[in-house]
Structures are given as structure tokens and as C-alpha cells.
Structure 1
Amino acid sequence: MPRNLGSEAESTPTTTATREAVPLPATAPRRSGTFSSLKVRNYRLFFSGQVISNIGTWMQRIAQDWLVFTLSGNDPVALGIAVGLQFTPILFLSLWAGVLADRADKRKLLIGLQAVAGTQALVLGILDITGVVEMWHVFVLCFVLGCVAAMEVPTRQSFVAEMVGREHVANAVALNSTIFNMARIVGPAIAGFVIVWVGTGWLFLANAVSTLAVLAGLLLMNPDKLFRGPRVERAKGQLREGLRYVRRRPDLMTVMVLVFFVSTFGITFFTSLAIVAANVFGTEADGYGLLSTLLAVGTFTGALMSARRGSRGRPRVRVLLLSALALGLLEVVTGYMPTYFAFGIALIPLGYATITFLNTANALVQTAVSPQMRGRVMGLYVLVLVGGNPIGAPMTGWMAEAFGGRSPFIIGGAISAFAALVCAVILVRRGGVSLPRRRFPGLRVLDRRA
């Protein structure tokens, strides 16, 4: 894997930014249903591997949170630090990962990164099962996993368009979320009961085994059937070139800003759910797993609806703004729910609004950029999506300790709703934001009718 990409930021730009996306026809192509992307063999292989791997990933996430809670004596700050360590590498690596994704063979790069992720889970599982695991072990391995994710997520996001072509991008993005959230239903439910029965260690080992499914899918793909754009040769200034590309696009900037505020302050469930389960309602690991499953019921349903919309037409900014506002308001309401049962039920519509927002934002960005820039733009998108977590996760733990376990939901939801309203007002005052017709005829992602 190529290293030392830091020099890219300080060098002179190339002319890649002048190449734009292949224009779409004025009339949108016919769609073929909620699962239209699965007609593409390479994507079917990817999809199948992700179904298994994501279940393992969610089992590890629940097990890791509970392991940190166990080792720290239910300290919410320790949990916030562990989550923050997983996202800190995003700040330093995601932009260069986007540059690398534009240059490299994305399929081969993903194979290497998945192998490292499986090794991380294997090491943590062995340490846990043998009884020698300590908090610093978990913190170090969280950071390692964060480094892998910082490289893998931009690559995987931009690889979606290569597997299915631009026509099916929105549908494939939604289907990816569907399997992610299906696993979010199954994984935590399994993890909660397994932790009670045999502890957390075996769940880490199960996740290590599940990565083999992704590796098998990637290895069985036919590279000649991928929808690859022109190869981006290594050159100086490509990172700065990607940042300038986004800065010159007010439509992309609007999406990026809104995603940053909502994801940093509103979508903090990895930390806040464990805190609410243990410190507000006094449940064990199975209670935490059930809350995660109820949230996932909503996100799974929302992902299916997003896939249906993605098979019918282009993503709309109106859906983005309304789902962000709904997310914030529902999160505030959820934070005030008095009982464990009421809190859990309120997580279902909150999950629906959350995944609708995330899928719409992702599809808007993916369909609005040129193929040569997709990796770098998705690197920046991943940065704003999860790069605020090194701040948001410890802040969530601090708020829970200072103001009570419900406060992350109430405060985070209020900030998300306010951010959605501000972005909506800005768009209205500008009279809408549209893509230049001379560059993207037939494609208007953000317009007055949206």
C-alpha cells in the first residue's frame, strides 16, 4: 500500500479538476425496482459478503462497548474515549485515503484493508478470551481499527459506483444501508445474549471469521465488468485539487456542512445508547442490545424506502433537509421518554429519520461529482461525516456525566434541528442551489423544485 501521501497537500495542482462527469441524458433511465442493483453480478458478490460481515461488525461493536464498560466500572468517559479513538484517524487519513482511492485499484485496496480489519478482531478476541485484556489494549486496538476504517470507508464508498455504474448509484447506496441496518438488527440482538452467556471474547473472533465473506466476494469479482473511469495518475497537488473542487461547488458545500453538524452532535448513538441503557435504565448487556436493535428496525425500514426512492429517480435536497429536521426533533422527544419501553419504541422513528438523512446525503454527493474526483470527494465526505466523533464522543460522555444520561439526546437533537433550519433558510434566500447545466445537463441535484 503506498505511503507518505502527505506531500500531496503542498504541491501544485494538476488539470484533473477540469474533467467533469459524463453527462446524464435529459430523461432519466428506466428503473427496475427496489433491488435493481442486484442485477449486476459484481455487486451481488459484494452485497452477499457485506451481509455476513456487517453482522460480525455489529456484534463486535456491542461487545467492545460492553468490554470497555466492564473494564472501566461503567465509566461513560472511558467509553467516549474508546469511541473517539476509533474516529480520530479519520481526521488525518480520510482525505489522503480519497486521493489513494482515485489512483489505486479500489478492489485490491479493499482486499488488503479487510485482511487487516480481520486481524484486529482476532487479536482483541484472543486477548479477551485468555483473560489478559486491559483497557490500554482496547484503546490501542480501537485506534488501529480507526486507521483501517479511515482508509476503507472512502474507498468502499467510491467503489460502489464502479460496481453498478452511475445509473444505479442511489439504489446501491440505499441497499448498502439496508444490509448494514439488517445486520444492526441481528448483530446486537445476538451480541447481547452471547455476552450474558459466554462473555465478549467470542464475538470478536466471530467478527474476524466474518471478514472472510467480504474477501471472498471481492476475490470472485470480474474486474473487467467494473465501471471504471479514466485512471488518475500520481501527480502533485491532487489533495488540494479535490478540496478546491468541493469549495467551488456550493451544492456540495451545503451538504457537507449539514452532514458535519448532524453527525457530530446528533448521531452519537454508539456512545449514548450504552450510557442510557446502563446508567439511566440500569439494564445489562441484553438491554443495550435490544435498544440497538430497536434503533436498527427504524434504520432498516428507512433504508428500504431509500432504495425504493433510489430506483425511481434522483435524490432530492428537500428530503435531506426534512429528514435532518425530523432527526433532531425526534431525538429530543426520545431523550424525554420516561420508561425503557417508551424510549425503545421512540428509537424506531428516530432510526428511520437518521438513515433517510444519511442515505440522501451520500447519494447527493455520489451523483454530483465527476468519476475522477469521486474518491477525493468521498474522502472529504467521510471526514465531515465521522471526523467530528473525536470531539463528539468524549463530549457525549462528559454531558452524560455532568447533566445526566439523557442529555446527549436532548442537546444533540436540538443542535441537529437548528442546523437543518439554518441550511434551509440559506437555500431559500439563495433561491435554491443548482448544478451548472453546461457541466451536468439533465442532472439537477439541488434545485428550486427539490
Structure 2
Amino acid sequence: MAFPVMLRSLRHHNYRLWATADFVSITGTWMQVLALNWLILSITGSATSVGLGLVLQALPTMLIGPWGGVIADRLPTRYVVAAGQAGQALLSALLALIAAGDPSTTGQLYAISLVSGVITALTSPALGRFGAEVVGPDDLSNGLALGSVLSSGGRILGMSLAGVVIPLAGVPGAFVTNSVSFLGVLVAIALMRPQEFYTLPPAEPGERGIAAGFRYVLASPRLLIMFGLAFMLGSLGRNYQVTMAAMSQGPLDAGAAGYGALSVAFAVGTVLGGVYAASRARLPLRLLLITAALCATGQMLSGAAPNLLLFGAAMLPIAACAVVLDTTVSTRTQLDSPGHLRGRVISAQGMVGAASGAFGGPALGVLSDTLGPRAALMLAGALCLTAAVAAAYGLARIRRARAAAAVPSHAAAPRPAPALAAADA
């Protein structure tokens, strides 16, 4: 069966199963996110309490993420992924039971959020490695880009369905739906064809620990530059949940309805970015630098937007560039790292992402409170643009150094003139 270039990953049987199951699972996950946040908010009446639940889910990735990388590089990824999905399904079912009991405290909810974060930290690198095994290196960038489109679509659908399911079946109904969605992933894995996997080599006997992964990352200047740029863009350039809310409540005077409209515009932008990335045959580092610069420039301009319409219009290219940037970083992280260390490099990328989210949200909140939302956007955008320029300079130096090292030492010496050469002979 022939597929358009943008959909070329779908020619793989295993990827078709994985993409379908992943879309269903992401939809259920976003239903649970909204239901859990609503349940905590209804118990405590505090937005800070909701934020604490999100921190508990992200914290394990920063603390124990490297162990997830070790697991991914040593054990068969299918079994690790299946175990993680089964664990999350059980936690969602447990949340449904707790919610059905009309809880008055958040202790059990926080505990489940923490355990869910631990499972995510230990299995996310295997998920990344598994994605490469179902699609192969030639179509990896396309598979990741299509995955971002499905993720955005699942987020929009999940949030919409939560608004229908919660009033009809209550918060427990949303948790049950998410638990069932994980079973779809397990069925998809069981139906995949083993002979069509692009299996990556496992960790070598002398390089099975956490230290081997850190040594590789620290000895790879390109990876360090990419991760540094991703941290800056992910923290100060991407936490628009904070800045969109601050702009809606403050300078734009748009209220909750305006914030909802901006969220939709941002989601549409992520879909457009995913479609663009999927349509490209390659995602070079040059594209990473261009999208980083565009994203930062757009952020500075958005701070000067006089009304909701223009601010929302700025969200579309910013969100699109952010998805292209993420897809390029993920693609280059996987393709430029050896198979036997792939899980540990992915875990390092995950730690960077978790750290950027944990740092960026509070930082942008403080900037918005002290300088105002407009000034916060302009300053953060300027810092991100500076980081993009610095990354471009660093990558250029690496290219020049490699080019110089590739030239043999004798090639630099001038060749003798013919007459002198004859005399020497």
C-alpha cells in the first residue's frame, strides 16, 4: 500500500497499531488530567494544591529518570512498555475507586500521582526506544512528527470528552475511561508482528550503568547544546499556560473565555507544526536553530500584541515552531546516539524536559507578577533568542573543528613546484 510522504510511517504495520493505540491512550490521559485537577480543586479550593499534584508527577523523572534509561537499554522494550501501561491502568482504576468514595483529603490522590510519576520515569525511555523499533531509522522523524499530531489531537479530544463524561458519569467515570484506554495499548502490542521490529542492540556488558550514559552525553557537545537550547525554550519560551493566563487576566482583559480561546489556538498551532515536520524528509540541526529563533522572536512580538485576536494569531506560529523544535531534538537525539545507549540518552532528554517545566512555570509567574505579563514575554523571548544565537555559534564551532580534524596534516603543506620537484628527484 502506497502512502503520501507525510504519512510514510503508516506503511509499517506495527506503527499503525501503535499510533492508533497511542491516540486512544493520550485521549484518556487528558481526560484523567482534567478530572484529577478538578477533584483536587473541589477538595481544597486551592490552585496551589493542583500545582503540587503536577510537581509530584514530574519530580520522579528528574530524580530517577536515568534508571529508566538503564532499564530501557537492558530489557526488551515491549515488556517494559507493557508493564508500564498495565501499572498506569491499575492506578487509574484505583483513582476511580477513591473518587467514588467522595474523598475529603488529597493524601491518597497525591500518593497515586507520585507513583504514576515513578512509573513514567522508569518506562518513558523504553517508550522512546520502542517508538524507534516500530518504525525504523529511515522513517523515525516522520513517526515522531505524526506522534506529535496525534498527541495534540488526543489532547483536544480528551479535554473535550472530559467536559462531557464528568457531568454524565462523574469524575470516577473519567478515571475508568482512562484505565480502559491503557488496555488498548496492551492489545496493540500483543498484535504486533515480531519479525517487523527494527530491534536496537542492547547495552554492552561494560556499559550497562548510569555512568556510561552520562559519560556519553557529557562527551557529546552537540547533544549538550541541543539540550541546553531545549531547556531554555522549554522553560522560558514554552510555559504558555502561565503567560496566556496572565495576559488574559491582565492586559488583554479577556477573562476565562479568552484563556480558553487562546488554548485552542495554541493546540491548533501544535497540529500545524506536527504536519509540517511530518512532511519533511529530514529534520537537520539548521531547522532546529531556525525554529528556535522564530519561536523566540514570536514570543517577544506577542508581548506587544494590543488585543486578544493578535495575541492569539501569534500563538499559532509559536506553537507550530515549538513542535518542530521538539520533534527535531527528539529525532536528532535518537539518530545521533548509538543503539545500546539510546534509552539513557532519551532519559537525559526527559530530565531536561521535566526540569524546564519545573523551573519555567514559577520563573515566568514571578516575572509576570513583578514586571507585568508583557515585559515578562519580551524579556523571556529575548533570553531565548540569545540562547538560539549562542547555540548556532557553538554548533558552527563544532563543525569547523570536525572539518579541520578531517583534513590530513600533510594536506596543509604546500606542494613543491614541478621544477623544484624534478630537481629534488
TM band (smaller chain): 0.7 to 0.9
Structure 1 match to 2:256: 283
Q: How many angstroms does 1:45 deviate by?
A: 0.9
Tell me whether 1:303 sits opposite 2:303 in the alignment.
no
Between the aligned partners of 1:233 and 1:427, the Cα distance in structure 2 is: 30
Aligned to 1:231, the other structure's residue is in SS state coil
8 A contact 1:97–1:155 mirrored in 2: yes
Task: Give the alignment's TM-score, normalised by structure 1.
Answer: 0.79
Structure 1 match to 2:190: 219
Given candidates 73, 84, 90, the residue that maps to 1:119 is 90
Q: How many angstroms does 1:326 deviate by?
A: 1.9
Between the aligned partners of 2:222 and 2:207, the Cα distance in structure 1 is: 27
**Aligned residue identity for 2:220:** R
Given candidates 285, 303, 313, the residue that maps to 1:317 is 285
Structure 1 match to 2:418: none
Between the aligned partners of 2:403 and 2:30, the Cα distance in structure 1 is: 37
Tell me whether 1:381 sits opposite 2:349 in the alignment.
yes
Q: How does 1:332-343 map to 2 (within 5 A)?
A: 332-337=300-305, 339-343=307-311
Greater Cα offset, 380-389 or 370-379:
380-389
Tell me whether 1:392 sits opposite 2:360 in the alignment.
yes
Between the aligned partners of 1:326 and 1:169, the Cα distance in structure 2 is: 24
Given candidates 145, 158, 165, the residue that maps to 2:129 is 158
Residues 31-70 of structure 1 show CA distances to partners (whole Å, capped at 9, x for unaligned) of 9611111111111111110111111122223333444444
- In structure 1, the gaps of 5 or more residues are 1-30, 439-450
Aligned to 2:130, the other structure's residue is in SS state helix
Given candidates 324, 336, 340, the residue that maps to 1:368 is 336
8 A contact 2:14–2:196 mirrored in 1: yes
Residue 271 to residue 200, structure 1, CA distance change in 2 (3 Å): farther
Q: How many angstroms does 1:420 deviate by?
A: 1.2
Residues 402-438 of structure 1 show CA distances to partners (whole Å, capped at 9, x for unaligned) of 5566776555434322221221233345555769999
What percent identity do the matched residue pairs reach? 29
Q: How many angstroms does 1:374 deviate by?
A: 0.9
Greater Cα offset, 155-164 or 400-409:
400-409
Residue 71 to residue 411, structure 1, CA distance change in 2 (3 Å): farther
Tell me whether 1:59 sits opposite 2:27 in the alignment.
no
Q: How many angstroms does 1:249 deviate by?
A: 1.9
Q: How many angstroms does 1:165 deviate by?
A: 1.6
Between the aligned partners of 2:310 and 2:99, the Cα distance in structure 1 is: 35
8 A contact 2:43–2:104 mirrored in 1: no
Q: How many angstroms does 1:134 deviate by?
A: 3.0
Residues 104-163 of structure 1 show CA distances to partners (whole Å, capped at 9, x for unaligned) of 010111111011112222333333344215333433332222212212221111112211
Aligned to 2:180, the other structure's residue is in SS state helix
Task: Give the alignment's TM-score, normalised by structure 2.
Answer: 0.83
Structure 2 match to 1:24: none
Structure 1 match to 2:319: 351
**Aligned residue identity for 1:300:** V
Q: Which has the higher helix share?
A: 2
Question: Which one scores higher on RCO, CA 8 angstroms, separation ≥ 6?
Answer: 1
8 A contact 1:40–1:163 mirrored in 2: yes
8 A contact 2:28–2:177 mirrored in 1: yes
Q: How does 1:16-31 map to 2 (within 5 A)?
A: none
Q: Which has the larger radius of gyration?
A: 2
Structure 2 match to 1:257: 228
